Amino acid sequence: MRTVSVRLGDRSYEIVVGAGLLARLGEFCGGLDLGRRCGVITDDRVAGHWLGLVVESLRGGGFDPVVVTVPAGERAKCWSVVHRCHELLAAGRLERGSFVVALGGGVVGDLGGFVAATYMRGVALVQVPTTLLAQVDSSVGGKVGINLRAGKNLVGAFYQPRLVVADLETLGTLPEREYRSGLAEVVKYGAIADADLFERLEREMEGLLGRELGVLESVVARCCEIKAEVVMEDERESGRRAILNFGHTVGHALEAICGYGRLLHGEAIAIGQVVEGWLSARCIGLERGAVDRLEGLLGRAGLPTRTRWTAARVERLLMAMRSDKKVRDGQVRFVLLSRLGCAEWGHGVGEELVRSVLMGEAV
């Protein structure tokens, strides 16, 4: 088991990463000085695999869990589901000193976190991520929220958990496509912040694809360390935290124009990272060979790295990017790589250049 500390003053917490940790959840929560009663928010797929173990472990630790199960999928990140969760927590007599356990992928983490942040003006939150994406990204750093018709994650809060428990054994039941989608975020950490991690991923991709627990433990913990370092420096994304969005400017727009759900998030940001790698080569001199390595590694992870760019599709993408939260002074802002392991944020890139890169290179 590895432990990563997120030091944020009185909002500090630990991330524990390892195999077989769900059975120790009650013990871990027992060290946090929390009330006996807790709400476990999960989705109907995760529940079938892991809820029994979590409830048993919490009871064994002396807690009294109330379970709230929501439908699996992005659509659960909405007001009506938040409202239902609040009502069920109140019916289960959760109090100010109670806590919420979010057991699931990024959807349950964002939703459950938002419910915890708002129930009785905030109760403690324990994140128990069960997808690779949630273990390396969404459960860490405190962004919680839900979607509006107008767009994803438009309502939310920064609300740090009291603890993150990433049990690698839960990844054993994750569908292959979801697992590979999470690998896009893993590759991203190497690309933006750690050239050694990137090289390690090049060497150990087979072990990762085989979900070998030893490889997973050190890689997931390293990704959490990188995210923790970034969040500790810039919790509210006024600067450096933006580097976590490498590949996401193009990736989010691509998800939007393809229709959410067609491309998984990780698939869209794999293509986005390659496009933003080309932009990095054109704008700040990233070596062409580095873009090839990035594309090669994402491809070995079983992710798409290119899509067919017609002129009409490029225009739709540019339009979607214009409504992105990252637009400033009328220019879309990108995270670019100066080399593998080193990212710069806030680069304004003109639409002409984006158009020419997409039409010229993405073939």
325 near ligand NAD, rule: CB under 6 A:
no
Nearer to ligand GLY, 199 or 237 (CB): 237
C-beta nearest to ligand NAD: residue? 106
Minimum distance of ligand NAD from residue 21's CB (angstroms): 13
Residue 329 Cβ, how far from ligand GLY at the closest point, in Å? 22
Which H or E run includes 251? helix 248-258
Q: Which does 46 bind (CB under 5 to 8 A by kind): ligand NAD, ligand GLY, none?
A: ligand NAD
Q: With respect to ligand NAD, which residue has the nearer C-beta, 49 or 240?
A: 49
- Extract the tokens encoding 190: 């190497």
| Binding characters for ligand NAD, 148-167, by CB under 6 A (x = yes) | ----xx--------------
Catalytic residue among 14, 169, 185, 276: 185
Should residue 174 be labelled a site residue for ligand NAD when binding is judged by CB under 6 A?
Answer: yes
**Nearest Cα to Cα of residue 39 among 52, 58, 24, 22:** 58
CB 66 within 8 A of CB 90: no
What residue has token string 């959410």? 260
- CB neighbours (10 Å) of residue 97? 13
- Which one of the spans 98-106, 201-209, 213-221, 304-312 is the region binding ligand NAD (CB under 6 A)? 98-106
**Nearer CB in complex with ligand NAD: 56/287:** 56
Q: Which of residues 263-292 bind ligand NAD (CB under 6 A)?
A: 265
Annotation says 237 is catalytic: yes
How many residues in the chain? Answer: 363
Does residue 37 carry a catalytic annotation? no
Q: Residue 264: name the closest of 185, 209, 352, 357 by CA.
A: 185
Residues at the interface with ligand GLY (CB under 6 A): 137, 141, 143, 237, 241, 244
Could you say whether residue 49 binds ligand NAD (CB under 6 A)? yes
- Report if residue 41 touches ligand NAD, rule: CB under 6 A: no
Q: Which stretches within the chain are classed as H helix?
A: 25-30, 44-46, 52-60, 79-91, 106-118, 132-133, 176-193, 195-209, 213-233, 248-258, 265-284, 288-300, 311-322, 351-361
Taking the complex as a whole, how short is the minimal distance between the CB of residue 104 and ligand GLY, in angstroms? Answer: 17
Residue 42 interacts with which of ligand GLY, ligand NAD, none, CB < 5 to 8 Å by class: none
227 is catalytic: yes
Q: Are strands 2-6 and 151-158 parallel, antiparallel or unpaired?
A: unpaired
Q: Please, what sign has the CA dihedral across residues 196, 224, 62, 39? A: negative
- The DSSP output letter for 103 is E
CB of 335 to ligand NAD, least distance (A): 15
According to the binding rule CB under 6 A, does residue 141 interact with ligand NAD?
yes
Cα–Cα distance, 109 to 164 (Å, whole number): 11
Q: Residue 156 forms beta bridges with which residues?
A: 145
Distance CA(4)–CA(239), nearest Å, equals 23
Residue 212: burial class (beta carbons within 10 Å; 0-12, 13-18, 19+)? middle
| Tokens coding 59 | 């009871």
Least distance to ligand GLY, CB of residue 244, Å: 4
Binding to ligand NAD by residue 188, rule CB under 6 A? no
- How do 342-348 and 331-339 pair as beta strands? antiparallel
Task: Tell me: does residue 40 bind ligand NAD (CB under 6 A).
Answer: no
Which residues share a beta bridge with 38?
A: 65, 99
Pick 127 or 305: Cβ nearer ligand NAD = 127
Task: List interacting residues with ligand NAD (CB under 6 A).
Answer: 43, 45-46, 49, 72-74, 77, 104-108, 110, 130-131, 133-134, 137-138, 141, 143, 152-153, 170, 173-174, 178, 265
